[in-house]
Chain A
Amino acid sequence: MNYIYDPRKRVRPDPTFKAPTEAHLDAPDVFGVVEGWRTWKVTEPSFGVAPKLYSVTDSRYFWVPRQRAEAACDRFCGETPGQLCSCGFYSARTLEHLLTMRYHFYTGRGGSWGVVGRVANWGGVVPGDQGWRAQYSYPVVLYVPFEAARKLGPALSETYGVPVKMLNVLKPRGGSRGLF
């Protein structure tokens, strides 16, 4: 289609127009959450104590039930996750990639089990080819080993308010089955 110039239809500049400032441009890049996969260590509940999701790399840290997990930088990089730092909550883009890193474990030795799950990430997020580093995180769904399903499933689901399913992480292609 040919465009015929008509000076009468020329758009005149709006005298009330103000150029956007940086504050106007401070909009989120993504609405929603980005989901990744990660592993936790869970100890079987005993004496009525609710099970907790513990970090597999820092045994002192656990994810508080029904509260967003907020990353903190022990190097005080300023903004977590820092672009030039390594802080933040890590999660893998795929379950297959998570399992290649061997964070999970299957034994119930000592009453501890490896639990994998999908997490929602939001706030500041550093995307990687294989995963994410995030400022805020919370589980979306948890997968427990078959043998731990009865002991952990209902208690974890009640405590964290998320569905818990069974998944044999040694055979991830076997599929999963909703249980609770």
Chain B
Amino acid sequence: MDIGKEKEKITVEPLKDPVPQRQPAPSPEPQKVPQREREKVPAGA
């Protein structure tokens, strides 16, 4: 590619990252799992 007459090299520092980062997928809301009812043990068993 022809970029014409070249000048002195410069240093360019981006103010923010020019590469787009993939957004993390939102984590699903934790579902409440009902606690298992304690099994009733018949007396004298």
Contact = CB atoms under 8 A, between A and B. Distances in A.
A161 B8 contact: no
B37 to A, nearest CB: 47
A18 B7 CA distance: 32
Contact of A29 (B1, B5, B12): B12
A66 B11 contact: no
A125 B14 contact: no
Contacts, number: 96
Given A66-B21, A68-B19, A129 B5 contact: yes
Contact of B12 (A34, A91, A101, A131): A34
Interface in B1-34: 1-15, 18-22
Given A92-B1, A103-B1, A128-B4, A122 B18 contact: yes
A130 B1 CA distance: 10
Chain B binding surface, main DSSP class: loop
A103 to B, nearest CB: 7
A128 B7 contact: yes
Contacts of A121: 12
B10 A131 contact: no
29 contacts: A28-B13, A29-B11, A29-B12, A30-B12, A32-B12, A32-B13, A33-B18, A67-B19, A83-B6, A83-B9, A90-B3, A92-B1, A101-B2, A103-B1, A120-B14, A122-B14, A123-B11, A124-B11, A126-B6, A126-B10, A128-B7, A129-B4, A131-B1, A133-B3, A133-B6, A161-B19, A161-B20, A161-B21, A161-B22
Interface of B: 1-15, 18-22
Which 7 residue pairs across A and B have the least CB separation, nearest first? A129-B4, A128-B3, A131-B3, A161-B20, A130-B4, A28-B13, A90-B1
